[in-house]
Amino acid sequence: MKIAVLFSGGKDSNYALFCATHYGWDVTHLVTAFSSSPESYMYHVPAIELTRLAAESIGLPLIEVVTPPDPEAELMPLRDALKELNVDGIVSGALASEYQRRRLDQICQDIGIKSFAPLWHKVQRDYVREMVGEGFGIMVTGCYAEGLDESWLGKILDGEALDKLDRLHRKYGISVAGEGGEYESFVAYGPHMRRRVCVEYEKEWKRDSGKIIVKNAWLE
Amino acid sequence: MLKMLIRNATYFDGKNIVKGDMRHGDSGEEFDAAGKFVFPAFNNGHTHLAMTLMRGAGDGEKLQDWLDNTIFPMEQRLTPDLVYKGSMLGLIEMIRTGTSRFLDMYYFVEETAKAVEKAGLRATLGTPITSFGTPYYKDAKDALRIAERQLKSMRAGRVGYCVSPHSIYLNDEETLIKARELADKYHVWLSLHVSETRKECVDCHERTGKWPVEYLDGIGLLGENTVLIHAAWLTKMEIRLIAENGSSVIHCPVSNMKLASGGVMPLHELLDAGVTVGLGTDGASSNNSLDMREEMKIGSLLQKSHRWDATAANARTMFRMATLGSTDFAFIRLDDVRMLPHHDLISNLVYSGGAVTDLIVDGRLIMKGGEILTFDEEQAKKDFEEASLELIK
């Protein structure tokens, strides 16, 4: 089965890629979408520039698709790019967002390929803990929820950080997996990568949210 | 030499459903199969037969909790007598569901061998070799010694032995290599669990820099006599290695789903690469039956659902996997409600099933008209119930 993985560089798309690879499927491409809008409707804007390095470390060609700011037209370039790839299906890191999944399913339906979401409706707390336990280096690149302060920016999730997220979940109801957009992530290393992505960054914090501004990035 | 005559059979000749008489085995007996569908009896490619004793215990727990809190403590209390009685119950279930042959991995192998001889089935039995001690052996060296003793005692017949290092995570490299040497020395199967969980895969990768099958290839464990069990998480590179080495794979879909392994054995990728793939139930504690009819159906549904493809893992593919190498016959009434109508008998067998009425193994009737002929079924069940209570004391 020839597969393209929708890849943002974040934890969900990395784990979806890991699953697809270990289903024995032939992952031929990573596809990443850069929104030309500062406020993306579907895609992870912060730190997306790191995806090229991540793809290089993974060893798969990266197809870059620029998407327009109009939410109705946003997926058209993605659909057109997927059509060119001659794949049997896509794999995405969709966790629980009906909006995201329905729209991906629709464009795949339109071009006659399948749309797989291996993480769909998995227990999010368990899945993030498993990722950390399995050696994925998940860096927090953006914080957008009450309880997540500046100290989280640039942090690599470990057992202690996950315990803190559990406490924040109980206190504020935030998703431990960041599914509600509470935080954005970037996987700097993992068992599916040959080299670690190293990042030099500055923090940009405004009132109650912030993100890292990547100053330099390279493969170790 | 006279062969057993099966008269008035309706059977699948590999391509079509045909009717007529069949010759089988060398017993000279006759069996009238009028009104019955005859099919090759099932070959259960992976089980732990005496784990019938633990069926239902700790059900619904997470895998590691279930192993640590339920299974491992129970296994520490195993005795030869308990294994014999557990094996007998497993054999009843196999006979009643049309299985004549299986590849087993469990402790006190001699007891399972005795049970199989008594029941009249066929089995290839292996001691699960682990680095830690069990009531059956002190350590891995002792387990290898026991395995060799069994191999030395092997005679032509219905019961054979194999070498079964449990897995890469319960054995060191030296033991795995010695197991390989032992299997080669006696020209027998080398069977082991592999890539059942993601954790096993990433732990292996962290320790060795290789994925499990890649690691096994690197230390010379893959060969034509290697049987890889589960293989639920495989990369395409590992599929290629399995194919290049001529190794086989046993798919255990129900166990993988019940234990939430998450992975799905890449059936079509393996078949396309030319790999021989069989089907197994795993033990009755993680399935929780030994019924190959269920395994065919659920295995087929899993692949179809996983791949979004109604053509995946069709009935004939599953049937072939479930009956690999079978030389025995099982029978189901053609008017069994789940075998009607007769548009496609193989499809009926895989997806709707039916009650197995008769079983012929090695030219001998083991079950006739629903009655097991080789041992007292009621007594075996009574003995089993006492044994299962003893295990939870």
CATH architecture of the domain A124-219 equals: Alpha-Beta Complex (3.90)
Q: Which of residues 63-122 of A touch B (CB under 8 A)?
A: 89, 114, 116
Query: What interface predicted TM-score (ipTM) does this complex get?
Result: 0.85
Angstrom distance (rounded) from CA A181 to CA B386 = 57
Q: What is the distance in angstroms between the Cα of A31 and the nearest Cα belonging to chain B?
A: 20
Binary contact (B234, A24; C-beta < 8 A): yes
CB A213 within 8 A of CB A154: no
Per-residue pLDDT tens over the stretch A84-139:
999 999 999 988 878 778 888 899 999 999 999 999 988 888 889 999 999 999 99
- pLDDT at res. A45: 42
Q: What angle do CA B193, B196, B200 make, to 5 degrees?
A: 95
- What share of chain B has pLDDT > 70, as a percent? 99
Q: Is it the case that residue A39 has pLDDT exceeding 80?
A: no
| Domain-wise residue ranges, chain A | 2-116, 124-219
Peptide bond into B266 cis (omega under 30): no
Q: Is it the case that residue A33 has pLDDT exceeding 90?
A: no
> pTM, whole model, 2 decimals?
0.92
Binary contact (A23, B266; C-beta < 8 A): yes
Nearest Cβ partner for A1 among B198, B265, B307: B307
- What share of chain A has pLDDT > 90, as a percent? 62
Helix, strand, coil percent content, chain A, rounded in steps of 5: 35, 30, 40
Report, as an integer, the average pLDDT of B205-219: 97
Q: What is the distance in angstroms between the Cα of B164 and the nearest Cα belonging to chain A?
A: 25
**More confident: B15 or B109:** B109
Angstrom distance (rounded) from CA B297 to CA B313 = 9
Per-residue pLDDT tens over the stretch B42-82:
999 999 999 999 999 999 888 888 989 999 999 999 999 99
CB A116 within 8 A of CB B308: yes
Nearest Cβ partner for B202 among A26, A114, A134: A134
Q: What is the distance in angstroms between the Cα of B326 and the nearest Cα belonging to chain A?
A: 29
Average confidence score pLDDT of chain B? 95
CATH number at A2-116: 3.40.50.620
